[in-house]
Amino acid sequence: MDVKTVCLGMLTDGAASGYDLKKNFESTFGHFFAAGFGSIYPALSSLADNGLVTCEHIPQDGKPDRKVYEITAEGTAFLLEALQDPAPCHKVRSDFLATMCFAHLMPSKQIEAVLDNRLEDCAYYSEMISDIEANRMDDWPPGQQFVAGFGKAMIAAMKKYVEENRHLLSEQTHIKSATG
């Protein structure tokens, strides 16, 4: 699923600005789908050009107009069609895992810092999901509740794996010589 389709899905909850959607990508979607302004705004522009959303310009004092997007009937139909895929891809793009592939080229202290930061991220996302569960999840559709629970389970598994296996990286020989 691409950013445009996820934006359409978010807009089924009501009209929102690009900034509002960015906040959703950072919070509710933060543990499984990353998107920044550089992909959100072009996606919204494309959706508007294709009649899948409308855009209302709301004047603001001393600032550019606030653009608020709302999904159209065509956008809803497009989203529902996109949701028909019975085997959506579950791919993971992880800078953390890519970095760990090359841990043998890093000093131990740097590896430890990366692992510690990963554990801090796990704690952050775990707390974020727990806050969502405690404060806002009662009125969420079952699918969103499922995703929050899935995220919580994945984060717990990642934390456990890093804690139980970090020794594999600290026991290795680091920084291979560039000359061999």
Q: What is the DSSP string of 93-145?
A: --HHHHHHHTGGGS-HHHHHHHHHHHHHHHHHHHHHHHHHHHHTGGGS-HHHH
Tokens of 70: 């709302």
pLDDT score for 143: 87
Residue reference for tokens 């409308």:
54
pLDDT score for 94: 84
Q: Is the pTM of this model over 0.85?
A: no
3-state helix, strand, coil in the chain (%, to 5): 60, 10, 30
CATH class of 3-82: mainly alpha
pLDDT score for 178: 39
pLDDT score for 118: 96
β-sheet with 63-71: strand ranges across: 16-17, 63-71, 53-60
**Tens-of-pLDDT digits for all 180 residues of the chain?**
899 999 999 999 999 999 999 998 888 777 788 888 899 999 999 999 999 999 999 999 999 899 999 999 999 999 999 999 888 888 777 889 999 999 999 999 999 999 999 999 999 989 988 887 887 767 788 888 898 889 899 999 999 999 999 999 876 544 443 334
Number of H helices, E strands in the chain: 8, 3
> What SS3 state is found at 71?
strand
The rounded distance, in Å, linking the Cα atoms of 137 and 130 is 10
pLDDT score for 1: 87
Give domain limits for the chain.
3-82, 95-170
pLDDT score for 11: 96
The rounded distance, in Å, linking the Cα atoms of 170 and 104 is 10
The rounded distance, in Å, linking the Cα atoms of 45 and 53 is 9
pLDDT score for 171: 61
